[in-house]
Protein backbone atom coordinates (compact mmCIF):
# COMPACT_ATOMS: atom_id res chain seq x y z
CA UNK A 1 0.00 0.00 0.00
CA UNK A 2 1.17 3.53 -0.77
CA UNK A 3 1.10 5.74 2.33
CA UNK A 4 0.37 9.45 2.01
CA UNK A 5 1.13 10.42 5.62
CA UNK A 6 3.78 9.18 8.02
CA UNK A 7 1.83 9.34 11.27
CA UNK A 8 -1.52 10.05 12.84
CA UNK A 9 -1.25 10.31 16.63
CA UNK A 10 -3.84 10.80 19.33
CA UNK A 11 -3.59 11.66 23.02
CA UNK A 12 -6.46 11.43 25.48
CA UNK A 13 -7.66 13.98 27.99
CA UNK A 14 -6.45 12.16 31.09
CA UNK A 15 -3.00 11.61 29.60
CA UNK A 16 -2.63 15.41 29.28
CA UNK A 17 -3.58 16.22 32.87
CA UNK A 18 -1.41 16.10 35.99
CA UNK A 19 -3.99 14.49 38.26
CA UNK A 20 -2.13 15.40 41.44
CA UNK A 21 -2.26 19.15 40.83
CA UNK A 22 -5.22 19.32 38.40
CA UNK A 23 -3.14 21.13 35.78
CA UNK A 24 -1.94 20.47 32.27
CA UNK A 25 1.04 18.10 32.37
CA UNK A 26 3.37 20.62 30.75
CA UNK A 27 6.35 18.26 30.76
CA UNK A 28 4.43 15.68 28.75
CA UNK A 29 2.96 18.21 26.34
CA UNK A 30 6.37 19.81 25.82
CA UNK A 31 7.99 16.45 25.03
CA UNK A 32 5.30 15.42 22.58
CA UNK A 33 5.09 18.87 20.97
CA UNK A 34 8.81 18.86 20.22
CA UNK A 35 8.39 15.65 18.24
CA UNK A 36 5.65 16.99 15.98
CA UNK A 37 6.70 17.70 12.40
CA UNK A 38 5.17 17.99 8.92
CA UNK A 39 3.86 14.59 7.89
CA UNK A 40 2.39 14.08 11.35
CA UNK A 41 -1.30 14.69 12.11
CA UNK A 42 -1.97 15.14 15.81
CA UNK A 43 -5.42 14.46 17.29
CA UNK A 44 -5.65 15.96 20.76
CA UNK A 45 -8.39 15.60 23.30
CA UNK A 46 -8.27 17.73 26.41
CA UNK A 47 -9.99 20.99 25.54
CA UNK A 48 -13.04 20.33 27.71
CA UNK A 49 -11.12 19.20 30.79
CA UNK A 50 -8.50 21.94 30.40
CA UNK A 51 -11.26 24.53 29.99
CA UNK A 52 -12.97 23.16 33.09
CA UNK A 53 -9.81 23.41 35.18
CA UNK A 54 -9.13 26.92 33.91
CA UNK A 55 -12.70 27.98 34.68
CA UNK A 56 -12.46 26.58 38.22
CA UNK A 57 -9.20 28.44 38.82
CA UNK A 58 -10.83 31.75 37.81
CA UNK A 59 -14.14 31.25 39.63
CA UNK A 60 -13.18 30.09 43.13
CA UNK A 61 -13.61 26.43 42.31
CA UNK A 62 -17.25 26.75 41.29
CA UNK A 63 -18.37 24.27 38.62
CA UNK A 64 -20.62 25.07 35.69
CA UNK A 65 -23.85 23.08 35.69
CA UNK A 66 -26.42 22.03 33.13
CA UNK A 67 -26.31 20.62 29.63
CA UNK A 68 -24.22 23.47 28.24
CA UNK A 69 -21.30 23.05 30.66
CA UNK A 70 -19.30 20.85 28.26
CA UNK A 71 -19.82 23.33 25.44
CA UNK A 72 -18.63 26.25 27.56
CA UNK A 73 -15.63 24.38 28.97
CA UNK A 74 -14.58 23.25 25.49
CA UNK A 75 -14.78 26.79 24.10
CA UNK A 76 -12.57 28.00 26.95
CA UNK A 77 -10.13 25.12 26.70
CA UNK A 78 -9.48 25.15 22.94
CA UNK A 79 -7.48 28.37 23.10
CA UNK A 80 -5.36 27.10 25.99
CA UNK A 81 -4.75 23.74 24.32
CA UNK A 82 -3.49 25.32 21.10
CA UNK A 83 -1.46 27.93 22.98
CA UNK A 84 0.28 25.14 24.87
CA UNK A 85 1.17 23.16 21.77
CA UNK A 86 2.38 26.34 20.04
CA UNK A 87 4.56 27.21 23.04
CA UNK A 88 6.52 23.97 22.86
CA UNK A 89 6.41 22.88 19.20
CA UNK A 90 9.34 23.57 16.87
CA UNK A 91 9.00 27.26 15.90
CA UNK A 92 10.08 26.42 12.35
CA UNK A 93 6.76 24.63 11.79
CA UNK A 94 3.29 26.14 11.51
CA UNK A 95 0.53 24.69 13.67
CA UNK A 96 -3.05 24.62 12.39
CA UNK A 97 -6.12 23.92 14.47
CA UNK A 98 -8.65 21.68 12.72
CA UNK A 99 -12.00 21.18 14.47
CA UNK A 100 -14.14 18.37 13.11
CA UNK A 101 -17.61 16.90 13.58
CA UNK A 102 -19.26 13.69 12.44
CA UNK A 103 -20.39 15.07 9.08
CA UNK A 104 -16.77 15.48 7.99
CA UNK A 105 -16.46 11.69 7.96
CA UNK A 106 -19.93 10.74 6.71
CA UNK A 107 -20.18 13.10 3.74
CA UNK A 108 -17.86 12.23 0.80
CA UNK A 109 -17.34 15.84 -0.27
CA UNK A 110 -16.52 17.00 3.25
CA UNK A 111 -14.22 14.01 3.74
CA UNK A 112 -12.35 14.87 0.55
CA UNK A 113 -12.05 18.50 1.63
CA UNK A 114 -10.70 17.47 5.03
CA UNK A 115 -8.24 15.03 3.47
CA UNK A 116 -6.89 17.68 1.12
CA UNK A 117 -6.50 20.14 3.99
CA UNK A 118 -4.56 17.64 6.10
CA UNK A 119 -2.27 16.61 3.24
CA UNK A 120 -1.57 20.24 2.29
CA UNK A 121 -0.23 20.75 5.81
CA UNK A 122 2.54 18.27 5.10
CA UNK A 123 3.53 20.12 1.94
CA UNK A 124 3.28 23.57 3.58
CA UNK A 125 5.58 22.89 6.55
CA UNK A 126 2.64 22.70 8.95
CA UNK A 127 1.31 20.30 11.59
CA UNK A 128 -2.48 19.99 12.02
CA UNK A 129 -3.84 19.68 15.57
CA UNK A 130 -7.27 18.03 15.32
CA UNK A 131 -10.04 17.89 17.91
CA UNK A 132 -13.77 17.24 17.93
CA UNK A 133 -15.68 20.52 17.86
CA UNK A 134 -17.43 20.17 21.23
CA UNK A 135 -17.90 23.92 21.48
CA UNK A 136 -20.61 23.90 18.81
CA UNK A 137 -21.84 20.33 19.19
CA UNK A 138 -25.32 19.71 20.53
CA UNK A 139 -25.89 16.15 21.74
CA UNK A 140 -29.57 16.01 20.86
CA UNK A 141 -29.09 17.33 17.34
CA UNK A 142 -26.09 15.09 16.77
CA UNK A 143 -28.00 11.98 17.80
CA UNK A 144 -30.85 12.88 15.44
CA UNK A 145 -28.39 13.44 12.59
CA UNK A 146 -26.57 10.17 13.31
CA UNK A 147 -29.86 8.26 13.39
CA UNK A 148 -30.89 9.73 10.04
CA UNK A 149 -27.50 8.87 8.53
CA UNK A 150 -27.72 5.29 9.82
CA UNK A 151 -31.10 4.87 8.16
CA UNK A 152 -29.70 6.23 4.91
CA UNK A 153 -26.15 4.83 4.82
CA UNK A 154 -26.03 1.94 7.26
CA UNK A 155 -22.59 2.41 8.77
CA UNK A 156 -21.97 5.81 10.33
CA UNK A 157 -18.97 7.41 12.04
CA UNK A 158 -19.84 9.50 15.09
CA UNK A 159 -16.28 10.54 16.02
CA UNK A 160 -17.17 12.15 19.35
CA UNK A 161 -14.49 9.85 20.77
CA UNK A 162 -11.14 11.06 19.43
CA UNK A 163 -9.90 7.47 19.21
CA UNK A 164 -12.43 7.04 16.43
CA UNK A 165 -11.52 10.42 14.95
CA UNK A 166 -7.83 9.49 14.80
CA UNK A 167 -8.62 6.10 13.28
CA UNK A 168 -10.88 7.61 10.62
CA UNK A 169 -8.23 10.19 9.75
CA UNK A 170 -5.61 7.44 9.47
CA UNK A 171 -7.86 5.76 6.91
CA UNK A 172 -8.62 9.01 5.15
CA UNK A 173 -4.97 10.00 4.64
CA UNK A 174 -3.57 6.45 4.35
CA UNK A 175 -1.21 6.82 7.31
CA UNK A 176 1.82 4.57 7.67
CA UNK A 177 1.49 4.62 11.46
CA UNK A 178 -1.30 5.31 13.96
CA UNK A 179 -0.47 5.83 17.63
CA UNK A 180 -3.25 5.92 20.21
CA UNK A 181 -1.69 7.31 23.40
CA UNK A 182 -3.45 6.47 26.63
CA UNK A 183 -2.66 6.20 30.35
CA UNK A 184 -1.59 2.54 30.23
CA UNK A 185 0.95 0.58 28.18
CA UNK A 186 -1.59 -1.08 25.86
CA UNK A 187 -4.05 -3.97 25.83
CA UNK A 188 -3.96 -6.53 28.65
CA UNK A 189 -5.49 -9.99 28.92
CA UNK A 190 -5.96 -9.09 32.60
CA UNK A 191 -6.32 -5.32 33.10
CA UNK A 192 -5.27 -5.73 36.75
CA UNK A 193 -2.01 -7.50 35.90
CA UNK A 194 0.68 -5.46 34.07
CA UNK A 195 2.50 -8.70 33.21
CA UNK A 196 -0.32 -9.65 30.81
CA UNK A 197 0.39 -6.85 28.32
CA UNK A 198 -0.35 -8.00 24.77
CA UNK A 199 2.68 -6.94 22.73
CA UNK A 200 1.20 -7.78 19.33
CA UNK A 201 -2.16 -8.46 17.74
CA UNK A 202 -1.48 -9.64 14.22
CA UNK A 203 -2.62 -11.86 11.39
CA UNK A 204 -1.21 -13.23 8.16
CA UNK A 205 -3.92 -11.38 6.25
CA UNK A 206 -6.74 -8.91 6.84
CA UNK A 207 -9.30 -11.54 7.77
CA UNK A 208 -7.08 -13.20 10.38
CA UNK A 209 -6.05 -9.83 11.80
CA UNK A 210 -9.67 -8.73 12.26
CA UNK A 211 -10.50 -12.06 13.86
CA UNK A 212 -7.65 -11.65 16.35
CA UNK A 213 -8.63 -8.07 17.16
CA UNK A 214 -12.16 -9.24 17.87
CA UNK A 215 -10.85 -12.02 20.10
CA UNK A 216 -8.86 -9.57 22.21
CA UNK A 217 -11.87 -7.31 22.79
CA UNK A 218 -13.21 -9.82 25.31
CA UNK A 219 -10.30 -9.00 27.64
CA UNK A 220 -11.12 -5.30 27.74
CA UNK A 221 -13.21 -3.63 30.39
CA UNK A 222 -13.44 -0.19 31.95
CA UNK A 223 -12.14 3.21 30.89
CA UNK A 224 -9.76 5.89 32.15
CA UNK A 225 -12.55 8.33 32.98
CA UNK A 226 -16.31 8.65 33.11
CA UNK A 227 -17.72 8.96 29.61
CA UNK A 228 -14.76 7.35 27.90
CA UNK A 229 -15.26 4.18 25.88
CA UNK A 230 -12.17 2.27 26.99
CA UNK A 231 -9.86 -0.30 25.44
CA UNK A 232 -12.59 -2.36 23.78
CA UNK A 233 -13.73 0.66 21.78
CA UNK A 234 -10.14 1.45 20.82
CA UNK A 235 -9.76 -2.01 19.29
CA UNK A 236 -13.03 -1.59 17.40
CA UNK A 237 -12.10 1.85 16.11
CA UNK A 238 -8.65 0.84 14.78
CA UNK A 239 -9.89 -2.15 12.78
CA UNK A 240 -10.21 -0.36 9.45
CA UNK A 241 -6.85 1.38 9.77
CA UNK A 242 -5.04 -1.85 10.67
CA UNK A 243 -6.82 -3.73 7.88
CA UNK A 244 -5.66 -1.21 5.27
CA UNK A 245 -2.01 -1.77 6.28
CA UNK A 246 -1.46 0.99 8.82
CA UNK A 247 0.73 -0.07 11.75
CA UNK A 248 -1.32 0.69 14.87
CA UNK A 249 0.18 1.22 18.32
CA UNK A 250 -1.71 1.54 21.59
CA UNK A 251 0.83 2.99 23.99
CA UNK A 252 1.40 4.93 27.18
CA UNK A 253 1.64 8.70 26.77
CA UNK A 254 4.64 8.76 29.11
CA UNK A 255 6.72 7.50 26.18
CA UNK A 256 8.00 9.46 23.21
CA UNK A 257 6.61 9.00 19.71
CA UNK A 258 10.03 7.86 18.49
CA UNK A 259 10.28 5.27 21.26
CA UNK A 260 6.95 3.74 20.29
CA UNK A 261 7.81 3.61 16.61
CA UNK A 262 11.26 2.07 17.11
CA UNK A 263 9.93 -0.58 19.49
CA UNK A 264 12.05 0.39 22.49
CA UNK A 265 9.13 0.70 24.93
CA UNK A 266 6.27 -1.66 25.86
CA UNK A 267 3.04 -1.21 23.91
CA UNK A 268 0.51 -3.15 21.86
CA UNK A 269 1.23 -3.20 18.12
CA UNK A 270 -1.59 -4.16 15.75
CA UNK A 271 -1.23 -5.03 12.09
CA UNK A 272 -0.87 -7.55 9.27
CA UNK A 273 2.41 -9.46 9.52
pLDDT at 145: 56
Angle between helical axes of 69-88 and 47-58 (0-180°, round to 10): 100
Q: Would you place residue 102 in the very low, low, confident or very high pLDDT band (cuts 50, 70, 90)?
A: confident
Report CA dihedral (35, 246, 234, 200) to the nearest 10 degrees: -90
Q: How far is CA 62 from CA 47, 68, 207, 235, in A?
A: 18, 15, 52, 37
pLDDT at 135: 83
Q: What is the DSSP string of 184-222?
A: SSSEESSTT-GGGEE-EEEESSHHHHHHHHHHHHTT---
Selection from 200, 134, 126 nearest residue 162 by Cα: 134
Please state the domain extents for the chain.
Answer: 5-272
Q: Which residues of 172-203 are buried (b: 16+ CB within 10 A; e: fewer)?
A: bbbbbbbbbbbbbbbbbeeeeeeeebbeebeb
pLDDT at 24: 92
pLDDT at 160 exceeding the cut of 90: no
Model confidence pLDDT, tens digit, residues 206-250: 999 999 999 999 988 654 444 445 899 999 999 999 999 999 999
pLDDT at 67: 87
Count of beta carbons in the 10 Å neighbourhood of residue 30: 14
**CATH number of the 5-272 domain:** 3.40.1160.10
| Alpha-carbon 254 to chain mean position | 15
Phi, psi of 127 (to 5 degrees): -120, 120
Q: CA-CA distance, 28 to 18, in Å (whole number)?
A: 9
Query: How much of the chain, in percent, has pLDDT values that exceed 70?
Result: 89
User: Please, what is the average pLDDT of the chain?
Assistant: 90
Q: Are 93 and 37 contacting, i.e. CB atoms less than 8 angstroms apart?
A: yes
Model confidence pLDDT, tens digit, residues 121-140: 999 999 999 998 888 866 65
pLDDT at 260 exceeding the cut of 50: yes
- The DSSP letter of residue 145 is H
- pLDDT mean over 19-48: 94
pLDDT at 166 exceeding the cut of 80: yes
Q: Would you place residue 168 in the very low, low, confident or very high pLDDT band (cuts 50, 70, 90)?
A: very high
- pLDDT mean over 25-48: 96
pLDDT at 144: 55
pLDDT at 203 exceeding the cut of 90: yes
Model confidence pLDDT, tens digit, residues 169-190: 999 999 999 999 999 999 999 9
pLDDT at 87: 97
What's the pTM value of the predicted model, to 2 decimals? 0.90
Q: Are 129 and 44 contacting, i.e. CB atoms less than 8 angstroms apart?
A: yes
Q: Cβ contacts of residue 151 below 8 Å, gap of 6+?
A: none
Model confidence pLDDT, tens digit, residues 71-84: 999 999 999 999 99
Amino acid sequence: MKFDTELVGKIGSMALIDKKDNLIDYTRVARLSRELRPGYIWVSSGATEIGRLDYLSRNNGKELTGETAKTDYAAQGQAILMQTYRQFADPNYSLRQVLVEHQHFNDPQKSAHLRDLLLRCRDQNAVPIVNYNDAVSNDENRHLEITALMQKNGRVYECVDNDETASRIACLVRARNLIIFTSVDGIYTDPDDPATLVEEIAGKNEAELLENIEAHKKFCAGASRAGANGAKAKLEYVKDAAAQGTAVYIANAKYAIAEVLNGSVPCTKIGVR
